[in-house]
Structure 1
Amino acid sequence: MPELPEVETIRRTLAQHVTGLEIREIKLIWSSAVCGWEDQSFEYLVTGRRIKTIDRRGKYLLIRLDEDLTLIAHMRMTGRLNYYAESQEPEKHTHVVFQLEHGEVHFSDVRKFGRIQAIPTQLCISGSSLCKLGPEPLEAEFTPEVLKERFGKKTLSLKAALLDQHVLAGLGNIYVDESLFQAGISPERGVDTLSEEEISRLHGAIRNVLQAGIDAQGTSFRDYRDANGEKGSFERALQVYGRGGEPCKLCGQALERIRLAGRTTVFCSKCQR
């Protein structure tokens, strides 16, 4: 958390407030939350720059500044970017405050795993971990044939393959479990066992579930909020994630909860073959 739908929601809600604004000052409360470029500090690079656009790649936010600088923000597990129209006293876990010509953006992270890196825009892909990401699952170029190609000759489980950001960008535990349930395929299946029809079904399920997550503005169990501090509502539509031991909404059989690919995994052994 956050996964693709949550990061996309943050992108949209943040862009509404900050596009075109100048970053007047950076207040670093925990300096390890940011990273400059080579021998130039984060504050030096960012102060005085204007926010042009905000893009997304997988689970990363790409905040494009003028003079060819990009901020790559990764929320990891508990990171947040919140916009405030007025000056706001930083909360306990706020690590960076971006003071804009109108309002402020606070970067907070309870578990301190999230980071914001400043990097020249022309090196944004080649000079960062973004270069290793798989395709965007909601792009038109992502087809069943591309999914099959990304699986290649791997023999690992579907759960492990779909969590791998090198295979496909943006999916995490929530949306993998939900996609596999909608596709009717067990997370324990090896990727090399899927038929053409099953790959096509899984492709459609991934796109459907992610779009539904975006439409609901993400899933808020604990920490996730959009840039306005609002919760998402996709948890109301969850079919399996977080429901281990509860009855399947399709067949009534108790959902199984296992450990797979290092993550808690919930599925229906009757509906998911």
Structure 2
Amino acid sequence: MPELPEVETLRRALEHRLQGKTVQTVVIHYTPLVRQPSAEALSQVLPGQRLEAVQRRGKYLLWQWTDYTLVVHLRMEGKFWFGWSEHVQAKHVHAVLTFTDGTVLLYQDVRKFGTWDLVPKGKLHFVPGLEKLGPEPLATDFTPERLARQLAGHARSMIKSALLNQQVVAGLGNIYVDEALFLAKIHPERRVGTLQRRHVKSLHAAMVDVLQRGLAAGGASVRTYRHSNGEEGGFQHQLSVYGREGEPCRRCGQPIRRIVVAGRGTHFCPRCQRLPRSR
């Protein structure tokens, strides 16, 4: 699933290419993609709308049109890419937006889990889950103290599970949580309530570090993620633990282990990220 760095990279590219352009036609091939109002209604009201900005909240893309906001969640494998008219029938292309200047934007999703919600401006509360998102981890007001407050109600949860909760921190997923916990030397199964202030401070710094590096590298292409021009991101070449089961830890040489935490495959170093003994 695209996480904060991947979604932000896409946001920047989409805004750069499309800001100020007007939609001419919209074709939805997979109608369940549009949760509200409906695929037919969206195809009727979006033409003529001018794109003012593309914003991001957590893993959501917020397309700000003249009169509406289109809220898109890519889920597992949704992607936008620029193409030509001959690409509209390409495999797994579920939506095509054509702009008045001839630009063609395609939405492709092999798994069909992505969602589109078109709501009137100022009505984001109509989109389930959006208003309950936690703070943005790269925002200037996201401090170690803010992270501690967000974690306070999850003392009995494993730290990996807590960080995957989008109401705790928005935008994190499997890749960047594993990488941040490794950098902070915290075992993914450690209970939140056992973390001391120094651990939270270290975790905060690690989260910011891996997200900034992931963003600078254009995201991680570990599955099907690609930029809107078809190119891969580069952060997959910097990963310390994610996807490296059995390979030597870059810090101590111990083989990286893979376990399941909160139903998610989880990678860590058993030497660098020791689980404290229960007292």
Query: Under TM normalisation by the shorter chain, which class is it?
Result: over 0.9
Provide the secondary structure at the position in 1 that maps to 2:122.
Answer: helix
Give 2:111's aligned residue: 111
8 Å contact kept, 1:242–1:266: yes
Q: Which runs of 5+ in 2 are unaligned?
A: 275-279
Give 1:203's aligned residue: 204
1:87 shift after superposition: 2.6
| RMSD (CA atoms) | 1.5
Give 1:135's aligned residue: 135
Q: Deviations over 1:9-49 (max 9, x none)?
A: 10011111110000100111111112333898111221110
8 Å contact kept, 2:70–2:118: yes
Q: Percent identity?
A: 45
TM-score, normalised on structure 2? 0.94
1:89 shift after superposition: 2.1
1:88 shift after superposition: 3.5
TM-score, normalised on structure 1? 0.96
Provide the secondary structure at the position in 2 that maps to 1:235.
Answer: helix
Instruction: Summarize the alignment of residues 73-222 of structure 1 with structure 2, pairs less than 5 Å apart.
Output: 73-84=72-83, 86-90=84-88, 91-102=90-101, 103-125=103-125, 127-154=127-154, 155-222=156-223
C-alpha change, 1:148 and 1:76, in structure 2 (3 Å) is: same
Give 1:254's aligned residue: 255
Distance 2:22 2:159 in 1: 44
Distance 1:40 1:132 in 2: 29
Alignment: residue pair count: 271
Q: Deviations over 1:151-200 (max 9, x none)?
A: 11321100100001011000000000000001111111101111101100
Letter in 2 for 1:81: F
1:132 shift after superposition: 0.9
8 Å contact kept, 2:31–2:39: no
Indicate the structure whose relative CO is greater, using CA pairs within 8 Å and at least 6 residues apart.
1
Instruction: Summarize the alignment of residues 43-62 of structure 1 with structure 2, pairs less than 5 Å apart.
Output: 43-62=43-62
Moved more, 34-43 or 184-193: 34-43
8 Å contact kept, 1:17–1:83: no
Moved more, 87-96 or 2-11: 87-96
